[in-house]
Structure 1
Amino acid sequence: MSNQVLKLQQIIGFDFLSLQKLALNYLLWEDSKFSFINIGVGNGKTLLCSTLAALYAKSSQLPVFIIGKNDHLILRDEKRFEQLVTSLSLNINVNQYEKKAGVYYLTQKYLESQLGNQEFLDIWGRSIVLIDEYDWILFDGSISQMEKNLKFFNCAKRLVGFTGSTLSLKEANCLQIAFKSREIFFPKLSSLVGDKRIRLEQELVSSNQADFCKRIFELSAEYCKLTPVIIVANQSYSTIESYFRKYSQVQFFSMKNVKGTKLEAQFDQIFASKNGEGQYGVFLLNEQQGRGTDLKTNHEIEFNGGLFLIVSDVFSTRSTQQIIGRVGRLHRKGTYRQIIYKQGFKETIEQIISLHQQCLENEIHMKIAMLQTVLG
């Protein structure tokens, strides 16, 4: 293991896992301009991204940009790794940048707003850039925007991307065309230390929305005696929120309007605590929060079987994988249940989810096919 990684472990106060050490040492040794690392879901990708950024900034004395999807994610990471970065005498900021060596967290939206800023372009061309979830950043938006982003990322001095999701064949082809580079797959943590213990169950409610909400409420009331309950919703968010607010039997928290560090602060304060009746909280999250919120457990929660997650809508396969990964990260336990409402449907829950996801995948497939044609 390199001396740099050893020093980082001393600063952060814990040892990296074997898979993380493997990835860090590889990237410190690798000198390619472009590297895209697929490290699987729930294996500490964000930790890798931020610690590698700090190492690059310190060793190169250059600005290092970390590009994240939204405010919530980058504010969370900047807060979490601020002490590490400043302990190395480096600058750190969010949606701000300087010529000085440091780690600068930018949202995709902010980055795109700077594409016409010559001062920023000059700094970008001599900077190291890390992308957290490159599948989410590079292959999202309109075709023209994706094309523009791919060309812009190509201008960085060095580019490293991390993801835990599987690219489609056409996305991989676009990566090859744009960067002359292919993904590097590291072994999943489960292959090193055993499978994550996440149990999957699916249910379909076809009668009415009231029964759908009642079923989610009953499960939440049952499991919150043992563990925090996380509900991730999209179209059904408002319906579930309205239903739960009618009752006081559970501690219910609607989180959609809580942003960035406020979300993390609330979770740090109340997530693993119980009320006077010995109940944990029930937390309703939107899709982006479900994909990007770290959910911390303790010994009692793990002893009781780990976190309990309810997914109440059908998301894309990639998004669903990331949401599920939140309850079983780094070999922790967890239980996941998907409860879907489709009135009058006679198909099985598996058929409904498969059909809906196939429609989503087809839309994405057609868009990436057009991008591949544009890239040539």
Structure 2
Amino acid sequence: MRRTAMVKRKAFFIAFVLPCAAVYYCLKYTLHAVEKTFDIVGSARQNHRVKTRKRPKSKPLAVVPSSKGTTPTTTTTTTTTTTKTSFLHLPPEIRLIIYRLALGGPAIIQVRPTYSIRGPRPETWGPTQGIRSEHDPPSKTLRLTIGLGGSPLRQLVSPPRSGCVVYGCVSQLICGEMYYSMMTRFRHHETVFFTDLLRVSRAVYVEALDLLYAEHTISLFGVEMARYFCRNASPEGMARVHYAHVALLFPASAWNSSLQKRSVKETMKLLRDSLPHLRQLDVEVAVTWGQPKHAGQFWSWLTGDDVLGQFRGLEKFVLKASAYMPFARRPYGNWAAWTPEYELLTSWDDGEYQALKERVTSSNEVAALS
């Protein structure tokens, strides 16, 4: 009797359990392969977009001095009628309120290849503060993103699923550590961008530029996003940028390759030339993984006139440089497991850092660098 029961259980296992298990694992690994394929294709498309996309040619804004010669006004607002009224006939104060309601107040804008994300500035920041302070620690969100395998082209990442547990993507900005929101609204299957307001007319475009560029902190993840922003943002808008945050990523063993050094040097020069009215600059350097090879040479090159020393005339400058430590074992589980430890660069020199700050916040020899 017992032998018959065992035979029946074996037959049931072979007839039903094994086929179900085979189907389950087949679907599991097939879906994983499909997901990985989509990730590769998406990364390739993002890379192509960042390298090739460039703003189309357009006529520069036509501006004429006002009667007092102090405030520029657009020529498009000079035409008036006595029988019709429009949005531009409202008092400037009311138009400013409308622009603020549509575009929001001062925020941090993190540039991405497809659509950017935004989040509020930390409440601890002062009214005139657009970047982090000296005492603020390096970005934990940046460490988590890098630990999860993220990059400038793939900024929204999440820990791998753990059994039936699926984690959401990282939802904090790399600058300010605040929760972000998408700069779009979805209504009736249509995507509406907040910046579509600037398409109303060139007069509205000029008036809203200050709110869109001058009051926000522009956060650039890597040299890829810095070049992408400078190639595609409005030239008139970039001339109004006052606050910027730049995250520079360096491989510990290959930072001194000619290609890497030339890329960073040219990107810093591009930012300097594209943001002529920049007031505050926050630079975060992340070295992966471990201390950089020839740390002393790395520090001298980083703080030299070829890289960060190119800037002049800033009101405030902050530099944070960290070496991310490799994981002792492969992470598994929640967010904390994927956040690598970090330590200060072994070649960090406070005296040289203060000397760098004095150079970049000095207004002398500005013309010589242009």
**What TM-score, normalized by structure 2, do the two folds share?**
0.25
The structure carrying a bigger helix percent of its residues is: 1
Q: Which is bigger in relative contact order (C-alpha 8 A, separation at least 6)?
A: 1
Q: Which of structures 1 and 2 has the bigger CA Rg?
A: 2
**What TM-score, normalized by structure 1, do the two folds share?**
0.25
